[in-house]
Amino acid sequence: MDDIFPHVVFTIFGVPVRDTVITTWIVMALIMIMVKFLDLSALEILFDFLNDTISELVGRSAHTYLPLLGTLFIFIAVVNVIGVVPFLNTPTRDVNLPLALALIVFFSVHYFGIRAKGLKKYLSDLASPVFLLPLEIVSQLTRSLSLTLRLFGNVISAELIVAVIFALLPVFVPLPLVGFGIFTGLLQAYIFTALGAVYIGAGLEVTDPENEAEA
C-alpha cells in the first residue's frame, strides 16, 4: 500500500526528486519514441479524433488549440496507464503533476483569450459587469483547483481500489484490474482535455468576427 504514494528517490542540490518525476521523464522519452516509430495511420486516427473533439468543444476550428490540448491528452493518457508497467508508478498520483497541468490550462485560457480579442477587450469582458469581477476570479481559481483534484483524486482512488482488491485476491484478478486501471487513466485524460477545451472556448465566446477568423 505504501508504494501507491510517491517517495523521494534522490536529491539534486537539495531538491528532492520523487519516483513520479523519474517516471515522468521516462514517459516523455517514450512519447517521443512512439511518435517517431508509430504507424502513420494510427497517428492520423488519433489526430482526427482529437481534432473533431476539440473543434466541437471549443466551438471553432481546432488548429490553433490542437497542439496544446492534443499534447495534454496524449501526455496524461500515457502517464495514467504507465503504472501497469512493472516497477513504474503513475506520475499523476503525485498532486504536483495534476496541479502543474491545471496551471497550464489556466494560463492558456487567458493567453488564447487575449490573442483572440486583444488585451483591452479581453479584460473588459472578464470584468463585465465590474461588481462580478471577484466572483469571476474565484471561478477561475476554482476551475484550476477542480481540474487538479479531479485528476489526482480519480487516479489515486483507482490505484487504492486496485491495491486493496489485489491484496485480498492476488491470484484471481490481475488482468481485470489492469484493464480497469487503463480504462480509468484514458477516461481521466479525456475528461481533463475536454474541460480544458471547454474553458478555452468559454474565454473566446465573445470574440469579434474579425478576430475569430484569425484565431
Q: What is the pLDDT of residues 158-213, one digit of tens each?
A: 878 777 777 776 655 566 777 877 888 899 999 999 999 999 988 887 444 444 44
DSSP letter assigned to residue 82: G
Q: Give the side-chain half-sphere CA count within 13 A for 75.
A: 21
**pTM for the full model?**
0.84
Q: Is the backbone peptide bond immediately before 98 cis, with ω within 30 degrees of 0?
A: no
Closest listed residue to residue 178, CA positions, set 80, 94, 92: 80
Give dist(CA 205, CA 200) in Å, integer: 9
Give dist(CA 200, CA 208) in Å, integer: 16
| Share above pLDDT 70 across residues of the chain, in percent, rounded to a whole number | 90
